[in-house]
Amino acid sequence: MKKVFYLTIVVLVLISCNSRDTGKSNTLHVIHAGSLTYPVHKIARAFEKENPGVRVLTEAWGSKAGARRVIEIETPADVFMSADYMVIEHMLIPEHASMNIKFARNEMSIVYTERSRYQSEITTENWYEIMLRPDVSIGRSNPDHDPCGVRAVFTSKLAEIYYNIDGLANMLLSKDKQNIRPKETDLIALLETGHIDYIFLYRSVAVQHDLKYLILPDELNLGNPDMDDWYSRVTIETMGAKPGETILETGQSMVYGLTIPHRTNNSELAEKFVSFVLDEENGLKILEASGQPPIPQHHTP
């Protein structure tokens, strides 16, 4: 009986070890920006189809909160995809990552639905007047957690300069603070149920969720790299990687970035996934079909 008992223990240990090895070699953990949820899901499924036996697990966060998770997480992330490549630059390099690949662009828009108050009246000339009406509810994400929240602040500050209206940014940013959420995609349910009328949101997310959106002038949408000098006129101070640290962020056109954290459990599979994301016939093609302009890798900014 003792021999049978010990043999059983040995077999169970071997099975356990093999299970852990399989998990390490065939499971990929991807932490990504909330705005990438739709395309990353499609990319993950396509990658799994091309690599039978591989499982891609994804987590959506505001990019800054996601970076903090990369820093603090006990189970290491294998790939991190940020809505702002500067999050990787400021928070992960050099201690937690070494590379920073720019792979996609986006632009800010004002997003709403058929249920939004005054939706038939809103234009590129009067959007801020509509949003400031007392019976209109607006929302944005938290700049300490999410680049979309930072960009909502930039758009508001640029609007004050562009329209030459003193105090416009403060009026927009101080309105309906109870509607500030950790990441921009957290606001979609509130918008769709009519609890919020308008939100500052990426155009790609509006397209993916079949929402109505207002195309803002290039001076305000942070989507034109030729206007980086103009965008740089505005700044915001946000929470850094560690408690008590702050980062001074300067306006610039939107560029998404990705990296493989140092603490990856599977660098080989992570590199294979990143190559798939950057392939024009795979990941970049999926991004473009999802309403998000990709950055071809032979022409990075």
Residue 8: the pLDDT is 37
The H or E element that residue 267 is part of is helix 267-278
DSSP sequence for 22-64? HHHHHEEEEEEEGGGHHHHHHHHHHHHHHSTT-EEEEEEE-HH
Residue 19: the pLDDT is 36
The H or E element that residue 102 is part of is strand 101-104
CATH topology agreement for domains 2-105+255-289 and 108-238: yes
- Give the integer Cα–Cα distance in Å for 42 and 155: 30
Q: What sign does the CA torsion over 265, 271, 272, 275 have? A: positive
DSSP sequence for 85-96? HHHHHHHTTTTT
Could you say which of 3.90.79.10, 3.50.50.60, 3.40.190.10, 1.10.10.10 is the CATH number of the domain covering 2-105+255-289?
3.40.190.10
Burial class (CB in 10 A: 0-12, 13-18, 19+), 71: middle
Residue 208: the pLDDT is 94
Residue 24: the pLDDT is 52
CATH number of 108-238: 3.40.190.10
Taking residue 118's Cβ as centre, other Cβ atoms within 10 Å add up to 16
Return the domain boundaries, the chain.
2-105+255-289, 108-238
Q: Where are the alpha helices (DSSP H) in 106-167?
A: 127-131, 147-163
Q: Read off the pLDDT of residues 27-53 as tens digits, 9 standing for 90 and up.
A: 999 999 999 999 999 999 999 999 999
Low-confidence stretches of the chain (pLDDT < 70) are 1-25, 298-301
The structure tokens listed for 79 are: 């790939």
Please name which of 191, 177, 39 lies closest in space to residue 109, comparing C-alpha atoms: 191
Taking residue 241's Cβ as centre, other Cβ atoms within 10 Å add up to 18
